[in-house]
Amino acid sequence: MAADPPIRILLAKLGLDGHDRGIKVVMHILREAGMEVLYTGRRAKIHEVVRAALQEDVDVIGLSLLNNNHLSISKRLLEAMRDANIDHIPVVLGGIIPESDQEPLAKIGIASVFPVHSSPSDIVARVRDAALRRCANARSDSF
């Protein structure tokens, strides 16, 4: 019996935010958990993230945002994903995210939010959960 393929996650730093230490730590945490991690590098553009998600057939997209622009950037990314017909891919978001913004982010379609100081085990569990929900939705759509 073949093992399930690893979860594929695309990590991105959108916009002008150049601080990438946190996303690199998360990248290592997810790899240690057995996930296949692709990283766009710093200062990615929304269309680059969408193109990479399409080309790499990822299960989850993870954003790291530290510039207090998370709500508008998330809306623009989700809109671009809808336009490209990949809005079935869950998006998770980490960084400096005020608690008051977590509900509005969930309402626009962000699958999970990881504020600073989220535990590695919580990050891994919630990324896995987002990927599994995507797989379950894909199976139910095919019937």
Q: How confident is residue 29, by pLDDT bands cut at 50, 70 and 90? A: very high
Residue-level pLDDT at 65: 87
Residue-level pLDDT at 67: 77
Q: How confident is residue 34, by pLDDT bands cut at 50, 70 and 90? A: very high
pLDDT at 1 over 60: no
What whole-number distance in Å separates Cα of residue 89 and Cα of residue 29?
Answer: 21
Give CATH for domain 8-141: 3.40.50.280
Contacts of 135 (CB under 8 A, 6+ apart): 59
